[in-house]
Structure 1
Amino acid sequence: MAVIDYILDLGPTVMLPLVILILGLILRQGLGKSLRAGIMVGVGFVGVNLVIGLLTDNLGPAAEDMAERFNLGLSVVDVGWPGSSPMAWASTIGTIAIPIAILVNILMLVFKMTRVVNVDIWNIWHMTFTGAILYLVTNSFWIGILGVVIHAAFVYKLGDWFAPVTKNHFGLEGIAIPHGSGTWSAPFAVVIDAIMDKIPFIKKIDINSNKIEEKFGVIGEPVVIGAVLGVVIGFLAGYPVSEILQLAIQMGAVMVLMPTVVKFIMEGLMPIADAARGILDKRFKGQEYYIGLDPALLLGNSQVVAASLIFVPLTLIIAVLMPGNEVLPFGDLATIGFFISMAVGIHKGNLFRTLFSGTFIMIITIWIANMTIGLHTKLAQQAGSVEGGQVASLDQGGSPITFVLSELFSLEHIVPLIIIGGLYVLSIIFTYIQFKRNKIYFENAIGDESE
């Protein structure tokens, strides 16, 4: 366990490169190629973290100022994934979650229940969080482990279903996103997309950053869109002109830099992914395999970044308008794109449709985050993260996977369980039927628009 703790302490920017290095050696890529691949992935994630840091350092205060300016009165702060993930790793379940999740992946591969080879070890924290919450609810270590198993198996399947989205819209061939916040929302988006396809006038509306750029030229370029959104956010925060202009340039920089740094990750990953697919294809003919990675890769898409910036103020508006809401979105605002990234792909980059599905996703997320405040605070107290007050999070604290599983044992919120659980299960069934009926459904839904 001390070895696992040591590896976790290295953080994702070191952990994932080590995994890629070892994987490259196993795949007989040689020390030089494997080392370069690992370093490039590490460099890419350092770049992603720097850009996210740029968002956090500037969008975070702007969001807080917006909340204070409009007297939102939301008393429980969203600590975000940077606050939640250490709580999960510090839990009793955290000591064994990684080998359990890896074992689930191996067994599912052996029995052909998934085609995802997950190397995103750090983000097993999402599965760990679910297990830790179930342990708190039931006081049973084995039920906590069961939570890890169910969450892991579920997101591996989601990775399978939506791999065509990562390929056709995002241009990430052979890549899947089996992620606790990056993929759980996708079934909702599939249903909403199908509904909008049935509405005569609505189905023809298509607004995306590519078309905006084509129509408006320079004004429609991602860097300009980012700057304009920065001006809007700064204005809502009540900033003086000088600070509004600074925020505009910073958000424009995010739009340009995020796709750039993601390219470094892909440069490191693609040789390893190709080698892995080659070996698996030879051993298991007729089967296509995917390398499971972090949804940060999807943030390399300018449409995802644009949607992310739009949803910063929109998420705050949703939080204000939701009856009985106590959670102030804060820690996860900078990475709000994770929640809606797959929806962007499902909607073919159509920001109009993403506004509808993203709004629905964030309503569900904030609603759940309110109902898990007590458990989240208890988990934080056990980890020594807080001494007084309450905490919440959108990422994982607002996940229907964790919520439904914990509520099945506690039955504390029966009506929300029926509503949220029912809607989510129906969305999953609908997505599964579409996948089984015609796997090309996802191909047709996405088309060939990639960046």
Structure 2
Amino acid sequence: MLVTRMTRVVNVDIWNIWHMTFTGAMLHLATGSYWLGILGVVVHAAFVYKLGDWFAKDTRDYFGLEGIAIPHGSSAYLGPVAVLVDTIIEKIPGLNRIHFSADDVQKRFGPFGEPVTVGFVMGLVIGVLAGYDAKAVLQLAVKTAAVMLLMPRVIKPIMDGLTPIAKHARKRLQAKFGGQEFLIGLDPALLLGHTSVVSASLIFIPLTILIAVLVPGNQVLPFGDLATIGFFIAMAVAVHQGNLFRTLISGVIIMGITLWIATQTIGLHTQLAANAGALKAGGQVASLDQGGSPITWLLIQLFTWQNIVGFAVIAIIYLAGVLLTWRRARQFVAAEKATALQQNQIAS
């Protein structure tokens, strides 16, 4: 894809290749065909590399990650759902004017809008709703406040350290490939230090449990995946430019779809775990990350046709989001080219 210029993403995050191979393993198990499993790996990889291209402007402008792409995990493949939601909201009068973000809260409430204070209040609310006693509520509030304060500070040194490495890698590649622009593919954990992502993540930890209760037919109770909720909605935060109102709408839809798909893949997921010797007899296992991935599930249904109605609904929603994401990326590129041309004309 690099040689043919189908993508600009050079993936150096080998630890997250498991997302692609998991799709292949699930497809292999569902169809009994090793080669269809390999095809699943290839399709997943090629698709998320394109998503890395398409969301490069969001990664650069919103998160400040110059020359870096996020072609992995739920952050990449759930971005199109946020684009679809954003497009729909833009067409609804009144709804398209609602905007509030972590920065807005801070500006409006001054010291009471600081991340530490907001985190403390969120912890209090979550603790009370969870039915904790007074001591546990206060402990949770302090821990939540600490997360709001420390997470951005912990992620920043990582970002600062990776930036020069990414720049050097890009220069080497550009020299080798005749000046072609490249993006270095890295872990979506880099997105989790942004204040708006932290805020949204803390909101969605209890909200995801509520969604799990409300989704019809859901059999998955989120537990281990709750610690990774930020990955699911990080790109949505960027797509919505930090608008927490829109992020809440996108996130509810994203987590609802994810939980529904995760329920559909319980059988395959359980069989994989049993084959790996990681499951006791009679147990079941599921996950939101790849077990709830629309890419994985759509590929499985494409070759098995076990749930035609579900396949049609998810395919329409997801493909609409992908097409809108592709069009949005083309518009960004065209706008940047026009700006560059105008600047060159002024300079000359």
TM-score range, shorter chain: over 0.9
Write the distance in 1 (CA, Å) between the matches of 2:332 and 2:155. 32
Is 1:112 the counterpart of 2:5? The answer is yes
2:279 maps to a residue whose letter is V
Match for residue 315 of structure 1? 208
1:423 maps to a residue whose letter is I
Residue 180 of structure 1 and its aligned partner are, at CA, apart by 2.2
Residue 162 of structure 1 and its aligned partner are, at CA, apart by 0.2
Write the distance in 1 (CA, Å) between the matches of 2:172 and 2:200. 38
1:407 maps to a residue whose letter is Q
1:311 maps to a residue whose letter is F
Q: Give CA-to-partner distance per residue, 1:280-299, whole Å, 9 cap, x none.
A: 33344563211111111101
Match for residue 392 of structure 1? 286
Q: 1:410 aligned to 304, 307, 311, which one?
A: 304
Q: 1:192 aligned to 85, 106, 128, which one?
A: 85
Match for residue 273 of structure 1? 166
Is 1:324 the counterpart of 2:256? The answer is no
Q: 1:172 aligned to 62, 65, 75, which one?
A: 65
Q: Give CA-to-partner distance per residue, 1:309-351, whole Å, 9 cap, x none.
A: 1111111111111111111011111110100000000100000
Residue 256 of structure 1 and its aligned partner are, at CA, apart by 1.4
Write the distance in 2 (CA, Å) between the matches of 1:441 and 1:425. 24
CA 1:429–1:218 in structure 2 vs 1: closer, same or farther (change >3 Å)?
same
Residue 403 of structure 1 and its aligned partner are, at CA, apart by 0.2
Q: Give CA-to-partner distance per residue, 1:150-201, whole Å, 9 cap, x none.
A: 1011100000000110110111111110012111111111121112112221
Unaligned residue ranges in structure 1 (runs of 5+): 1-107, 444-451
Match for residue 48 of structure 2? 155
1:425 maps to a residue whose letter is L
Unaligned residue ranges in structure 2 (runs of 5+): 338-348
2:63 maps to a residue whose letter is F
Aligned positions of 1:329-408 closer than 5 A: 329-387=222-280, 388-408=282-302
Write the distance in 1 (CA, Å) between the matches of 2:24 and 2:336. 31
Q: Any idea what SS the aligned residue of 2:224 has? A: coil
Q: 1:282 aligned to 175, 179, 184, which one?
A: 175
Please say if residues 100 and 243 of structure 2, whose CA atoms lie closer than 8 Å, have aligned partners that are also in contact.
yes
CA 1:355–1:196 in structure 2 vs 1: closer, same or farther (change >3 Å)?
same
Write the distance in 2 (CA, Å) between the matches of 1:332 and 1:396. 11
Q: How many residues align?
A: 336
Aligned positions of 1:119-138 closer than 5 A: 119-138=12-31
Write the distance in 2 (CA, Å) between the matches of 1:233 and 1:325. 23
Please say if residues 55 and 329 of structure 2, whose CA atoms lie closer than 8 Å, have aligned partners that are also in contact.
no
Write the distance in 2 (CA, Å) between the matches of 1:167 and 1:404. 30
Is 1:420 the counterpart of 2:314? The answer is yes
Residue 439 of structure 1 and its aligned partner are, at CA, apart by 2.4
Please tell me the root mean square deviation across aligned C-alpha atoms, in Å.
Answer: 1.5
Write the distance in 2 (CA, Å) between the matches of 1:284 and 1:110. 8
Runs (4+) of structure 1 moved beyond 6 Å?
none
Please say if residues 165 and 442 of structure 1, whose CA atoms lie closer than 8 Å, have aligned partners that are also in contact.
no
Match for residue 432 of structure 1? 326
Aligned positions of 1:75-94 closer than 5 A: none
Write the distance in 1 (CA, Å) between the matches of 2:297 and 2:310. 10
1:413 maps to a residue whose letter is N
Residue 399 of structure 1 and its aligned partner are, at CA, apart by 0.4
Residue 202 of structure 1 and its aligned partner are, at CA, apart by 1.4
Write the distance in 1 (CA, Å) between the matches of 2:336 and 2:188. 18
Range with greater deviation from structure 2 (425-434 or 274-283) = 274-283
Please say if residues 19 and 290 of structure 2, whose CA atoms lie closer than 8 Å, have aligned partners that are also in contact.
yes
Q: Any idea what SS the aligned residue of 1:328 has? A: coil
2:98 maps to a residue whose letter is I
TM-score, normalised to structure 1's length? 0.72
Is 1:295 the counterpart of 2:170? The answer is no
Write the distance in 2 (CA, Å) between the matches of 1:364 and 1:227. 30
2:206 maps to a residue whose letter is P
Q: Give CA-to-partner distance per residue, 1:352-371, whole Å, 9 cap, x none.
A: 00011111111110110110
Please say if residues 223 and 255 of structure 1, whose CA atoms lie closer than 8 Å, have aligned partners that are also in contact.
yes
Write the distance in 2 (CA, Å) between the matches of 1:402 and 1:442. 34
Write the distance in 2 (CA, Å) between the matches of 1:441 and 1:365. 34
Q: Any idea what SS the aligned residue of 2:10 has? A: strand
Residue 272 of structure 1 and its aligned partner are, at CA, apart by 1.1
TM-score, normalised to structure 2's length? 0.93
Residue 395 of structure 1 and its aligned partner are, at CA, apart by 0.5
CA 1:442–1:209 in structure 2 vs 1: closer, same or farther (change >3 Å)?
farther
Write the distance in 2 (CA, Å) between the matches of 1:441 and 1:369. 39
Q: Any idea what SS the aligned residue of 1:370 has? A: helix
Q: Any idea what SS the aligned residue of 2:2 has? A: helix
Q: Give CA-to-partner distance per residue, 1:91-115, whole Å, 9 cap, x none.
A: xxxxxxxxxxxxxxxxx11111111
